[in-house]
Amino acid sequence: MGNYAIIQNGFVIDPEQNSIEQRDIGIIDGKLADSKSVLEQGTNIDFIDAEGAYIAPGFIDLHVHVFKDATTLGIEADLVGIKQGVTTIVDAGSAGYANYQLLKDTVIERSVTEVLAFLNIAKEGLGAGLSELADPTNLMTTEEAKEIFASEPQIVGLKARMSGSVVKEQGIAPLQHARLVADTLHKPIMVHIGNPPPYLDEVFPLLIKGDIVTHAFHGKKHGILNEQGHLIDEAEKALQRGVLLDVGHGTSSFSYQTLRKFKENYRQPFSISTDIYLNNYDNPVGSLMLTMSKLLELGFTLEEVVRAVTIQAAQAIGLTEQGTLQNGTRADLTIFTLHEHPTDLVDSEGAVLIANRVLQPKITVRNGRVVFRQ
Ligand SMILES: [Zn+2]
């Protein structure tokens, strides 16, 4: 593919305009451009046919695990990235201060998909088992954090997993430490929520505007909603402060029932991510597009589910070249179709939803080049 391209005949979803319209998209030297300028200036223009498909900014998955060399759960980045129509993925805490360099050498620099990272507050990330916050001597210091964040632009925030099995006797202490570190970095913390302790009325007060709560709609006890389907007080206050919610589907962290209840009472936008890894790739997660299809069937609009993996995800981690269709920004694009055929889609609780429309990847464009075609 040359320096000039025009994608034709597709329906363009612009998440910033909340619009869907049939129009052409131009690309000049890897950046989005007006299609008229491409026609005027271009030589050897590549015409890409998107007939019957939708074109959106490249999808962003804020929660994946792709650190194959240091963790047993890591999955191939491009398999869950560009081959699934996802142009940017964020590894959520597989790596920590001590093994980030290996993630960079083996995954970030070798993948066609853009790979970013939330750095685990535990030094070895998930590389030394899944109780990474049980020993306080494993925590990254503020000095170490400052050093690595200053030199590694792919690190977009911190990750702290707040489940009983992760923190053991430490309770809320690792998150208190993460708060101090994040305050010196001015970067968000992605907090995983699950089975307590710590309880959410201890977790939420430590979060500030821009922090991200992943696994927000899990179906376990002690979640963000009370029995009546309303947000617990501390969650409600946190959302008012600007704390963000994220799906983080995963093996055991996404419940249709929880999201249905939330949707009945709240219109708060959130990001959609997969928490995909080796053991949940086949079942129940599948892919980011399948996760989006589940939300589509739960009554969210196509524009909403696309916003959740583009502009909302981009803004959550401060990306300005991604998640947008503005001319001059990086030409990362996801071209997908809506397959209209009843399909069984399962959540983490084993509940089955018959989805009437399923998103399917068709063409993935990264830096203005076609990197995947179905
Ligand atoms: Zn995860």
Q: State the distance from the centre of ligand 1 to the C-alpha of 54, rounded, in angstroms.
A: 29
**Per-residue pLDDT at 140 exceeds 50:** yes
Instruction: Please count the structural domains in the chain.
Output: 2
And the tokens for 301? 């609009």
Domain match, 238 and 195 both = yes
Q: Residue 193: which domain range?
A: 58-316
Q: State the distance from the centre of ligand 1 to the C-alpha of 191, rounded, in angstroms.
A: 10
Q: State the distance from the centre of ligand 1 to the C-alpha of 68, rounded, in angstroms.
A: 14
- Does the pTM of the predicted model rise above 0.85? yes
Q: What are the pLDDT digits (tens) for 47-81? A: 999 999 999 999 999 999 999 999 999 999 999 99
Domain match, 241 and 171 both = yes
Specify if 322 maps to a domain.
no
- Residue type for 143, please? E
- Rounded to the nearest 10°, the torsion over CA 260, 188, 158, 170 is -70
Q: State the distance from the centre of ligand 1 to the C-alpha of 277, rounded, in angstroms.
A: 8
Band the pLDDT of 2: cuts 50, 70, 90. low
CATH code of the domain in which 368 resides: 2.30.40.10
Q: How far is CA 288 from the centre of its chain?
A: 8
Domain match, 130 and 155 both = yes
Domain match, 293 and 360 both = no
Specify if 321 maps to a domain.
no
Rounded to whole angstroms, the Cα distance separating 232 from 243 reads 14
- Rounded to the nearest 10°, the torsion over CA 152, 157, 161, 167 is 70
Mean pLDDT for all residues in the chain:
97
Q: State the distance from the centre of ligand 1 to the C-alpha of 73, rounded, in angstroms.
A: 10
**Per-residue pLDDT at 33 exceeds 50:** yes
Q: State the distance from the centre of ligand 1 to the C-alpha of 72, rounded, in angstroms.
A: 13
Residue 58 exposed, middle or buried by CB count within 10 Å (0-12, 13-18, 19+) = buried
And the tokens for 96? 């920590």
Domain match, 167 and 142 both = yes
**Per-residue pLDDT at 155 exceeds 50:** yes
Band the pLDDT of 14: cuts 50, 70, 90. very high
Segment 315-321 long-range contacts (CB within 8 Å, at least 24 positions apart): 316/62, 316/188, 316/210, 316/212, 316/244, 316/246, 316/271, 317/62, 317/90, 317/116, 317/156, 317/157, 317/188, 318/156, 319/60, 319/88, 319/156
**Per-residue pLDDT at 362 exceeds 50:** yes
Specify if 110 maps to a domain.
yes
- Residue type for 302, please? L
Q: State the distance from the centre of ligand 1 to the C-alpha of 43, rounded, in angstroms.
A: 45
pLDDT of residue 73: 95
2-19 mean pLDDT = 94
- Above pLDDT 70, what percent of the chain? 99
124-145 mean pLDDT = 96
218-230 mean pLDDT = 96
pLDDT of residue 1: 46
